[in-house]
Amino acid sequence: MKVLVAGAAGQVGSEVVRLDAPDFSVAGLDRQDLDITKPDQVAHRLDALAPDILVNCAAYTAVDRAEDEPQLAYAANADAVGVLGEACAARRIGIIHLSTDYVFDGAKSASYAEDDAPNPLGVYGASKLAGEQALRTATDRCVILRVSWVFGRLGRGFVDTMLGLARDRRDLAVVDDQVGAPSPATAIAATVRAIAKTVVRGDDRWDTYHYSTTPALSWCAFAREIVRVGAQMGVLNTAPPIRAISTSEWPSKAVRPLNSRLDAAKLRRAFGLDTQSWQPSLREYIRSLR
Ligand SMILES: NC(=O)c1ccc[n+]([C@@H]2O[C@H](COP(=O)([O-])OP(=O)(O)OC[C@H]3O[C@@H](n4cnc5c(N)ncnc54)[C@H](OP(=O)(O)O)[C@@H]3O)[C@@H](O)[C@H]2O)c1
């Protein structure tokens, strides 16, 4: 199977590229080599590389900045995704596209199922939702995989931020009323591979799915765990205490959902996957920083 990854320099894209193997041959293109907002470049790359599956990990992911740059967010997250879908449909290429918990407003008390009504609170979520809709209109052969709270190797996510702050400060405060499940980029990549291997066999599982790990927790509880593991593994000298604060005490440009929990039962059923804990991946990641 030949797989082409767009957004190959990102947290998830770079992990999909690392899965390259004889039975899962991956070519990864970063923004320089494939800008998904350029239809001619998209067509050229798809013709030249002729993948069985395109994995779209490219996205405008700056949640707060998107409030000031809606045209850039929509160009990459919505318009370009529709164009990718059309280009793939014309060539009978399947597409696996990543989306987000931010398509929901977080008002539900339980985990979100795929058919719950989306209601994004900000530009980023709205642009990703528009991308989902454009993709479904463009092609039947698409899997949309909604993920949440991604962490990975690139050193710019929540885990690295917390470790950095814990090194520099004695007093930390983190939001305790936004709940979700951290998603290791490595585990998302492995899920993408499992999906690709199934759909490429001709199994008709093109649909929208939620990816999730266990246990769900608040950002504050996640931060405490990061710092605890960091200190245990010698990446931090001490584990400073972390104060729980509410979202209202941490104003940000974009409004974020309070409940980001996604129900992954449908994904597990469709692809025979087990629910995984994010904890071993966090330990592995922090160990890699030593
Ligand atoms: N990170 C999260 O917590 C999170 C949560 C839920 C869902 N998701 C979704 O998961 C997917 C992967 O996210 P991630 O965390 O891997 O994001 P990431 O690390 O920000 O990677 C996104 C990549 O896309 C590239 N990109 C941006 N615009 C592009 C364009 N026009 N053409 C080609 N490449 C472009 C970026 O390049 P530059 O660096 O040059 O901009 C970056 O390398 C995205 O669909 C995102 O919406 C992420």
Chain segment 24-39, per-residue pLDDT in tens:
999 999 999 999 999 9
* Whole-number Å distance between alpha carbons of 146 and 159: 20
* Whole-number Å distance between alpha carbons of 234 and 224: 15
Would you say residue 286 lies in a domain? Answer: no
Look up the domain containing 106 and give its range.
Answer: 2-154+182-213+260-278
* 68: CATH: 3.40.50.720
Ligand 1 pocket test, pick from 57, 144, 219 with the greatest ligand atom count within 8 Å of Cβ, gives 57
pLDDT at res. 171: 87
Pairing assessment for the beta strands 53-56 and 179-180 based on DSSP bridges = unpaired
Which residue has a Cα nearest atom 14 of ligand 1?
A: 11
Mean pLDDT of 213-217: 97
Mean pLDDT of 139-145: 98
Which residue has a Cα nearest atom 39 of ligand 1?
A: 10
pLDDT at res. 27: 98
pLDDT > 90: what percent of the chain?
94
Structure-token pair, residue 29: 């293109």
Residue among 125, 95, 115, 52 nearest 206 (CA): 95
The pLDDT of residue 234 is above 90: yes
Return the higher-pLDDT residue of 290 and 71. Answer: 71
Residue among 236, 126, 145 nearest 187 (CA): 145
Is the distance from CB of 56 to CB of 81 less than 8 angstroms? Answer: yes
pLDDT at res. 203: 82
Chain segment 178-202, per-residue pLDDT in tens:
999 999 999 999 999 999 999 999 8
Would you say residue 161 lies in a domain? Answer: no
Would you say residue 253 lies in a domain? Answer: no
The pLDDT of residue 156 is above 80: no
Residue among 115, 104, 107, 203 nearest 147 (CA): 104
Chain segment 1-17, per-residue pLDDT in tens:
999 999 999 999 999 99
Is the distance from CB of 286 to CB of 233 less than 8 angstroms? Answer: yes
Would you say residue 175 lies in a domain? Answer: no
pLDDT at res. 153: 87
Would you say residue 251 lies in a domain? Answer: no
pLDDT at res. 271: 96
**Cross-strand partners of 150:** 183
Would you say residue 239 lies in a domain? Answer: no
pLDDT at res. 204: 87
* Whole-number Å distance between alpha carbons of 58 and 41: 14
* Whole-number Å distance between alpha carbons of 66 and 256: 13
What is the 171 CA–ligand 1 centroid distance (Å)? 31
Q: Which helix (H) or strand (E) holds 245?
A: strand 242-245
Residue among 209, 246, 253 nearest 73 (CA): 253
Mean pLDDT of 136-155: 94
* Whole-number Å distance between alpha carbons of 103 and 75: 17
For the chain, give the mean pLDDT. Answer: 96
Instruction: Provide the domain count of the chain.
Output: 1
Chain segment 74-127, per-residue pLDDT in tens:
999 999 999 999 999 999 999 999 999 999 999 999 999 999 999 999 999 999
- For residue 175, which amino acid is it? V
pLDDT at res. 214: 97
Ligand 1 pocket test, pick from 32, 38, 61, 262 with the greatest ligand atom count within 8 Å of Cβ, gives 61
C-beta neighbour count of 53 within 10 angstroms: 25
- 219-232 helix and 158-168 helix, angle to the nearest 10 degrees: 60
* Whole-number Å distance between alpha carbons of 239 and 226: 9
Would you say residue 246 lies in a domain? Answer: no
Would you say residue 227 lies in a domain? Answer: no
Is the distance from CB of 77 to CB of 129 less than 8 angstroms? Answer: no
pLDDT at res. 275: 85
